[in-house]
């Protein structure tokens, strides 16, 4: 399957999910704002959602897909299915045990996740209750990751990429019910949301299981046995979870430190939701498709294909990510204002969230580069090297956040996350290059400075436009006018960027299509 076509499929499903996610977050901001209920829900959802992103967006696949693909291509589908059944049996035992322990130890977990809540017994108790209800989501998403890895190895990317859409549809339905019932920022709203999270996890698992069965793979539940294949998965999987999910781990650390400031977890959450759009549509889509692509080419000893796939994946990622980052830094307030400022989410919340968005956006290219570089290690069954780099970035994130928090509060936390992302990305790229596993080809060397230049020009143009239109982004202006103005600015910025990119040769559509369309 062509890499671009597969990545486009994942990106399209991710785009639908993110758009629905925006609708969900707009409704949530209006209903619960950034107060006690919002902070409790953000922390309660962050913990199981961390595992969703760790598993479903590539970290579990980092270990499972190469091992499954090896059996699929070397020994046939029956052997690959037996391996998946062995993993399923052991995974279920682990998940049930983990869930039982977590339920019992939840107060202690919340002490660690949100130390700032300790001084507020009401918020602490509510967060513990909400997290217990949301925790089954972790189990369902771990199983979704297993089934999704099987589908991805079979080059069936649509169902796994579409699964997160269910979560957003369910939560939108819950929020619609809350609004129709006349509820607002109160505990029962939080409980309704976390019950919706767990229900969505179950529905996602059912959907992917049906898709897997239709793809010709039927898993049976066996007695758990620690086979050599399971041992290999664990030895690769633990480092892979740390390495592949480091962005989410850093965000969890950020939430922990931000909990020391009232409303800060919510501000960081809403800012995170915005920059996750380009990260998900571009970085995660490329990373999910690139891993099985590189695994197949390495098995076939196709070094030229590996080199080409990596360069083109990085090229298309940076072509879209760098201008996205610059635009988010140039106009964060109009974006937050139009999307979220209503109901319980007031003007002060919009200003605070927009500053966090600008800080996060500076690290967006790095976060996407991590998604592009990591599969090169995972496809070679090397998860330890990325793990060590990930741990280094965690240390930088914690140290930076603690050092900056007294001076910049929650903004320092966001800046530390960005700095950690850049360190991780640069270490991954440098080490690949040093090993001879990655080299910028002539085309990418030529395109990269032009992409940066075109993005900077677009950024300055947007800043200039902001000087004239910023008064329109206020509560006194009709919402439809503000929305139209934001859409016009986004469209104008995109037109400026792509025009310059095409004029300078940074964008060569024909060459990209030819490169990505090369069959495996």
Biggest alpha carbon distance in the chain? 68
Q: What is the band of 1 on the pLDDT scale with cuts at 50, 70, 90?
A: very low
Angle at 408 between CA 371 and CA 114, to 5 degrees: 65
d(CA 67, CA 71): 7
Instruction: Answer positive or negative: Cα dihedral of 232, 234, 239, 241.
Output: positive
Given the structure tokens 């200039």, which residue do they identify?
A: 464
pLDDT of residue 138: 83
Q: What is the band of 354 on the pLDDT scale with cuts at 50, 70, 90?
A: very high
164 Cβ neighbours under 8 A, 6+ residues apart? 14, 17, 21, 56, 204
pLDDT digits (tens, 9 = 90+) for 134-171: 888 888 888 888 898 888 788 787 888 788 899 999 99
Residues 428/374, Cβ–Cβ less than 8 Å: yes
% of the chain exceeding 70 in pLDDT:
88
pLDDT of residue 518: 46
Mean per-residue pLDDT, 433-461: 93
In terms of Cα–Cα distance, which of 54, 392, 409 is closest to 257? 409
d(CA 430, CA 278): 24
pLDDT digits (tens, 9 = 90+) for 97-123: 988 888 888 888 888 777 878 888 888
pLDDT of residue 450: 95
Kindly tell me if the per-residue pLDDT of 519 is higher than 50: no
Distances from the Cα of 165 to the Cα of 42, 173, 280, 350, 478, angstroms: 19, 12, 13, 26, 30
pTM: 0.72
pLDDT of residue 291: 62
% of the chain exceeding 90 in pLDDT:
34
Given the structure tokens 């939701």, which residue do they identify?
A: 273
d(CA 325, CA 358): 8
Angle at 311 between CA 309 and CA 315, to 5 degrees: 115
In terms of Cα–Cα distance, which of 233, 207, 205, 209 is closest to 219? 209
Which has more confidence, 134 or 518? 134
Cα dihedral: 349, 355, 356, 361 (round 10): 140
pLDDT of residue 427: 96
Residue 512 belongs to what domain range?
3-516
pLDDT of residue 323: 95
Q: What is the band of 284 on the pLDDT scale with cuts at 50, 70, 90?
A: low
Average pLDDT, the chain: 85
In terms of Cα–Cα distance, which of 59, 504, 115, 466 is closest to 288? 59
pLDDT of residue 245: 60
Count the domains in the chain: 1
Kindly tell me if the per-residue pLDDT of 186 is higher than 80: yes
pLDDT of residue 5: 64
pLDDT of residue 335: 93
Kindly tell me if the per-residue pLDDT of 77 is higher than 60: yes
Which has more confidence, 409 or 18? 409
Which has more confidence, 305 or 495? 495
Q: What residue spans of 215-302 are helical by DSSP H?
A: 228-244, 246-258, 264-278, 285-299
Kindly tell me if the per-residue pLDDT of 292 is higher than 80: no
d(CA 37, CA 186): 6
pLDDT digits (tens, 9 = 90+) for 474-489: 888 888 999 999 999 9
pLDDT of residue 308: 83
Classify residue 99 by burial, with Cβ atoms within 10 Å: 0-12, 13-18, 19+: middle
Which has more confidence, 240 or 139? 139
pLDDT of residue 166: 93
Return the percent helix, strand and coil in the chain, to nearest 5: 85, 0, 15
3-state secondary structure of 386: helix
Classify residue 183 by burial, with Cβ atoms within 10 Å: 0-12, 13-18, 19+: middle
Kindly tell me if the per-residue pLDDT of 283 is higher than 70: no
**Polymer length of the chain:** 520
Q: What is the band of 59 on the pLDDT scale with cuts at 50, 70, 90?
A: low
């Amino acid at each position: 399957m062509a890499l671009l076509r597969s990545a486009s499929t994942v990106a399209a499903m991710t785009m639908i999910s993110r758009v629905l996610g925006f609708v969900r977050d707009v409704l949530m901001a209006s209903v619960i704002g950034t107060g006690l209920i919002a902070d409790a829900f953000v922390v309660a959802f962050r913990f199981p959602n961390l595992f969703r992103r760790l598993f479903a967006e590539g970290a579990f696949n980092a270990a499972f897909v190469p091992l499954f693909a090896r059996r699929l291509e070397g020994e046939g589908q029956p052997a690959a299915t037996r391996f998946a059944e062995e993993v399923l049996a052991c995974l279920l035992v682990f998940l049930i045990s983990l869930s039982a322990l977590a339920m019992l130890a939840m107060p202690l977990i919340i002490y660690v996740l949100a130390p700032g809540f300790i001084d507020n017994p009401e918020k602490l108790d509510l967060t513990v209750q909400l997290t217990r209800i949301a925790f089954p989501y972790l189990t369902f998403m771990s199983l979704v990751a297993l089934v999704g890895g099987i589908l991805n190895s079979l080059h069936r990317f649509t169902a796994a990429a579409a699964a997160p859409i269910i979560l957003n549809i369910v939560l939108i339905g819950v929020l619609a019910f809350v609004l129709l019932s006349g509820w607002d920022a109160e505990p029962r709203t939080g409980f309704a949301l976390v019950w919706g999270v767990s229900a969505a996890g179950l529905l996602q698992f059912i959907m992917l299981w049906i898709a897997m069965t239709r793809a010709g793979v039927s898993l049976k539940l066996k007695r758990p046995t620690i086979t050599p294949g399971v041992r290999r998965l664990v030895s690769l999987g633990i480092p892979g979870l740390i390495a592949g999910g480091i962005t989410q781990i850093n965000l969890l650390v950020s939430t922990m430190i931000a909990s020391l400031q009232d409303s800060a977890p919510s501000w960081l959450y809403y800012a995170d939701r915005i920059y996750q759009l380009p990260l998900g549509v571009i970085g995660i889509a490329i990373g999910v498709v690139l891993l099985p692509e590189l695994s197949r080419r390495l098995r076939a000893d196709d070094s030229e294909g590996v080199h080409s796939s990596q360069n083109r994946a990085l090229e298309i990622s940076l072509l879209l990510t760098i201008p996205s980052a610059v635009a988010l830094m140039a106009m964060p307030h109009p974006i937050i204002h139009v999307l979220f400022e209503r109901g319980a989410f007031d003007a002060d919340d919009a200003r605070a969230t927009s500053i966090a968005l600008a800080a996060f956006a500076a690290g967006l290219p790095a976060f996407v580069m991590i998604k592009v570089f990591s599969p090169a290690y995972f496809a070679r069954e090397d998860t330890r090297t990325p793990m060590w780099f990930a741990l280094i970035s965690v240390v930088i994130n914690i140290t930076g956040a603690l050092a900056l928090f007294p001076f910049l509060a929650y903004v320092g936390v966001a800046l530390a996350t960005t700095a950690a992302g850049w360190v991780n990305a640069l270490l991954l790229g440098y080490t690949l290059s040093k090993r001879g596993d990655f080299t910028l080809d002539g085309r990418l060397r030529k395109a990269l400075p032009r992409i940066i230049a075109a993005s900077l020009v677009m950024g300055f143009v947007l800043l200039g436009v902001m000087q004239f239109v910023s008064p329109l982004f206020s509560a006194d202006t009709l919402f439809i006018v503000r929305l139209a103005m934001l859409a016009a600015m986004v469209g104008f910025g995109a037109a400026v960027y792509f025009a310059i990119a095409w004029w300078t040769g940074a964008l060569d559509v024909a060459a990209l299509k030819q490169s990505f369309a090369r069959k495996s």
